[in-house]
Amino acid sequence: MKKNKASVFFMWFVFISGMIYFFLPLYATFDFSLRMLKDRLSLEAYKEVFKDPNFYTNFGYSMVWSVVTILICMLLFTWTAYWMHLKMPHWRPYIEFVSLLPFVVPAVVLIFGLIRMYSRVSVGSFNLLGTPILLIATYVVMAMPYMFRSVDAGLRAIDVRTLTEAGQCLGASRSQILFQIIFPNLRVSLLNGLFLTFAIVIGEYTVASLLGWPSFGVYIRYAVAMKAYEPAALSLISFLMTWVIMMIVQYVGRGSPGQTQIATH
Amino acid sequence: MAFIQIRNVSKAFSPNTFAVRDFSMEIGRGELVSFLGPSGCGKTTTLRMVAGFEIPTSGTIFIKDTDITHKPPNQRNVGMVFQAYALFPNMTVAGNIGYGLRIAKRPPAEIEQRVKEMLALVHMANFGDRYPHQLSGGQQQRVALARALAVKPEVLLLDEPLSALDAKIRVSLRGEIRTIQKELGITTIYVTHDQEEALSISDRIVVMNGGRIEQIGSPFDIYNFPQTEFIAQFVGTLNAVKVEVKDAAAGILRLENQTIKTTQTSDLGKNGDQVMIAIRPERLSISADGAAGNVLEATVENITFLGAIVRIQVKIDQATFHIDTFNDPFIALPQIKQKVHVAFPEEAVMALKNK
């Protein structure tokens, strides 16, 4: 009995400590963001943020970068992981190693290497540096560990080979199998990867700044340098957006179809 | 002309490892042929080559005079039922069954009608809206069968479809599969390691071992006239014992202190040879004195009750034999250590070839 009480107390202690550790800074930030006007609490900082046209411009750009990055990641890494599971399982250690490389290379090093390599690549007057292609390609590389591993975990949970063969026997091509059978059964994994990719891109500063492209991260950095209360408001808006997207992911991913089952009856 | 022709097909996964060696056979239209053998004998590999999931290292495969050896699986018009069911989890039962027809771009009305027909065929008319995870194993396998048949394939392939099911369901479902196969007249290859399954539903059985064909024949021939020791041991229960050939022409054999006669003299070799003979347990009986055929003295060692069958273990000289007799509660069984006479007809004695 004594041992039970002690362990329950300890559980609550850890839980409450964790909640305080997480929510106290958020509360402090929120409190600070309400004190733009002297002597009273107000949402003035938030109004200033939403009045600023640069907020919408930069946020819009980041949304576009996110969407394009997510689409490329979903197509590229899902197909790669699918092919690895189907035809090249012995390549797994090497592909997993490559997928982890973005963790090792700092963003600054990555972007300077890419600038150095692609600044000399021109086709007529077309140069990669003048387009957002390099920016998005960098984001794809940075999102690779998250998206690839998320998809890989999803593929491990289904019998990829048998489902593919079943589809082939019914006359389906590989792309039909991928989009009509594999993708729908990876819904939760893809959404998790999507969410992580979005979170990386929406708040990213270094790459966009060095390549000279507008982004939400660059805007926040500018606000921090020039203003006092608005950055606090922006931080909380970012958190709120992240939580909303997470809830959407949870909602869309609920009731995901069961996996291929070998029943006992 | 045979419907399916498999000619000298071999499959090697590495230079010295052959999963299938020189496999040749013809299958007639509407026939159900089982590939039977232990794990690793090459039966599934052969099936997968017919399906197109493996390419033969050598040899050719024809369906209706068309060489399909190198055709992709989705162009062979071959239906397949897998051991793991392989139903698409994101689609309902109706969606699964109609998938092949949607790929073939059939009109929606035709698809709906065909799905209804298939659901009725497998006795699952009210299950169209369910998802695979809401079905039992037996139901899932029925849906898998309906899905494979919906596209009207020329050939149906089944890869150990009942292995994951419990015994009672296996027995009832294999009967249903056979009934449907006969009703549709579809040429079928059925892979199994379960001899009872193969014996009960097949027109012919191909017994495989080590990548090669041991024997092709009807279930009756395979069971009653096995051509090799492997087949005799693998299919059914068997009493096998080494004897000395006393008179090969007359079919007289010597088991230590007792004489056995056989009518199958062609595989005995010459006088003085040691040969392995086999007798099915159901051909032996505990006899009263004066029975015809072979009658040997034996001692009862053990009696096992198996339900419909009672298995009596006896010692004849130093050899152990099993006798299978139908369970009859009104006939007294012998006692342990009782001396009895064991009788069996001369034609029940098979001389085995060791290939």
Instruction: Give the model confidence (pLDDT) of B33-44 as tens digits.
Output: 999 999 999 999
Q: Using alpha carbons, select from B74, B75, B81, B50 the residue that is nearest to residue B146.
A: B81
Lowest-pLDDT choice from B38-47, B152-161, B204-213, B233-242: B233-242
Instruction: Determine contact, residues B300/B337, Cβ cutoff 8 Å.
Output: yes
Contact A176 B78 (CB under 8 A): no
Q: What percent of chain B has pLDDT over 90?
A: 68
Interatomic CA distance for residues B158 and B174, integer angstroms: 11
**Is residue A255 scored above 70 in pLDDT?**
no
Place of tokens 């000289």: B317
**Is residue B354 scored above 70 in pLDDT?**
no
Instruction: Give the model confidence (pLDDT) of B67-125 as tens digits.
Output: 999 999 999 999 999 998 899 999 999 999 999 999 999 999 999 999 999 999 999 99
Contacts of B100 in chain A (CB under 8 A): 170-172
What is the model's pLDDT at position A263? 36
**Mean pLDDT, to the nearest integer, of B169-189?**
93
Contact B164 A176 (CB under 8 A): no
Which chain B residue has its CA at the smallest distance from A176's CA? B103
Angle between helices A160-169 and A53-87 (to 10 degrees): 80
What is the model's pLDDT at position A261? 39
Instruction: Determine contact, residues A69/A137, Cβ cutoff 8 Å.
Output: no
Min Cα separation A105/chain B (Å): 39
Instruction: Give the model confidence (pLDDT) of B289-329 as tens digits.
Output: 656 789 999 999 999 998 889 999 999 988 899 999 999 88
Side chain identity at B4, as an amino acid letter?
Answer: I
Strands B155-159 and B78-81: parallel
Query: Chain B interface, mutation test: which of A155, A159, A170, most B Cβ atoms within 10 Å?
Result: A170
Instruction: Give the model confidence (pLDDT) of B233-260 as tens digits.
Output: 888 888 888 899 998 888 899 988 899 9
Contact B74 A169 (CB under 8 A): yes
**Mean pLDDT, to the nearest integer, of A110-139?**
80
Q: State ipTM.
A: 0.83
**Mean pLDDT, to the nearest integer, of A55-66?**
90
Instruction: Give the model confidence (pLDDT) of A160-195 as tens digits.
Output: 999 999 999 999 999 999 999 999 999 889 988 988
According to the per-residue pLDDT averaged within each range, which of A123-132, B49-58, B166-175 is highest?
A: B49-58
Residues 6+ apart with CB under 8 A from B133: A257, A258, A259, A261, B89
Length of chain A measured in residues: 265
**Mean pLDDT, to the nearest integer, of B269-286?**
88
- Identity of the residue in A159, A171, A184 whose CB atom sits nearest the CB atom of B100: A171
Interatomic CA distance for residues B265 and B262, integer angstroms: 7
Contacts of B88 in chain A (CB under 8 A): 163, 166-167, 181, 185
User: What residue spans of chain A are helical by DSSP H?
Assistant: 2-33, 44-51, 53-87, 92-104, 107-118, 133-156, 160-169, 174-177, 183-185, 187-202, 206-211, 216-226, 230-253
